[in-house]
């Protein structure tokens, strides 16, 4: 009886660092991070009215991707919303890349500022590179987006971009603490994201 109670309770026990890491990984998720960066750059480059228009387009694309993942989750095609299992990531990655292509097309049609277009292009290409890596190795998407935001934020927003730089070690810590990724996988993701941002925006 005592053994059965121990087995039933232990799986539900979560340490305080893990609870904190779970909260941080949900708050500083790829959708929120890229949308925050996109919004700040759009407003800085295009002003309130046009910036809000570009942001509405980006939010539509992000909602479509999130909705697609939720549908896959409901149909048990993926184990969780952040798609922790590497082998489940290919189809959502293809959908994500298609959403980036559509977003870039709309931004071009709306004559968006060059920096906003290049920001989106570099993030899309970083996501494509991550998808390729993920076929063989489970690099971190959270860290890719945050690494991209850290570099792009500093390049495009100046001192305001430091908020994204400060978020990077927090995201790396949270992904490793949750055992969603090893430290090399988290750092690899961050390097890919930052690398594409520097390549296109520096």
pLDDT higher than 70, residue 135 = yes
pLDDT of residue 78: 78
Mean pLDDT of 118-129: 97
Instruction: Report CA torsion sign: 72, 78, 80, 82.
Output: negative
Predicted confidence (pLDDT) per residue in 38-79, tens digit: 999 999 999 999 999 999 999 999 999 989 888 888 888 877
Predicted confidence (pLDDT) per residue in 141-186, tens digit: 999 999 999 999 999 999 999 999 999 999 999 999 999 999 999 9
CA 152 – CA 170 distance, rounded (Å): 17
Domain count across the chain = 1
pLDDT higher than 70, residue 12 = no
pLDDT higher than 60, residue 9 = no
Model-level pTM greater than 0.95?
no
Mean pLDDT of 108-118: 97
Q: Report whether 197 contacts 155 (CB < 8 A).
A: yes
Distance, first Cα to last Cα, the chain: 64
pLDDT of residue 87: 78
Mean pLDDT of 181-201: 97
For residue 157, the tally of other CB atoms under 10 A from its CB is 17
**Within a domain: 2:** no
pLDDT of residue 36: 97
**Within a domain: 120:** yes
Instruction: Report CA torsion sign: 117, 123, 126, 127.
Output: negative
pLDDT of residue 1: 41
**Within a domain: 105:** yes
**Within a domain: 9:** no
**Within a domain: 10:** no
């Amino acid at each position: 009886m005592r053994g059965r109670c121990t087995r039933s309770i232990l799986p539900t026990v979560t340490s305080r660092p893990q609870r904190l890491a779970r909260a941080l990984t949900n708050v500083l998720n790829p959708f929120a991070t890229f949308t925050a960066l996109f919004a700040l750059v759009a407003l800085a480059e295009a002003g309130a009215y046009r910036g809000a228009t570009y942001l509405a387009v980006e939010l539509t694309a992000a909602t479509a991707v999130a909705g697609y993942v939720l549908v896959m989750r409901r149909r048990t095609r993926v184990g969780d919303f952040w798609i922790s299992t590497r082998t489940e990531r290919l189809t959502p990655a293809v959908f994500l890349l298609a959403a980036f292509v559509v977003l870039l097309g709309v931004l071009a049609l709306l004559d968006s500022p060059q920096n906003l277009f290049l920001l989106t292009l570099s993030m899309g290409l970083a996501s494509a590179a991550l998808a390729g890596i993920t076929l063989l190795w489970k690099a971190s998407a959270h860290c890719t987006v945050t690494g991209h935001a850290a570099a792009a934020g500093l390049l495009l927003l100046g001192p305001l971009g430091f908020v994204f730089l400060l978020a990077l070690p927090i995201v790396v810590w949270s992904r490793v603490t949750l055992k969603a990724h090893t430290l090399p996988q988290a750092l690899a993701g961050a390097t890919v994201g930052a690398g594409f941002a520097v390549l296109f925006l520096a």
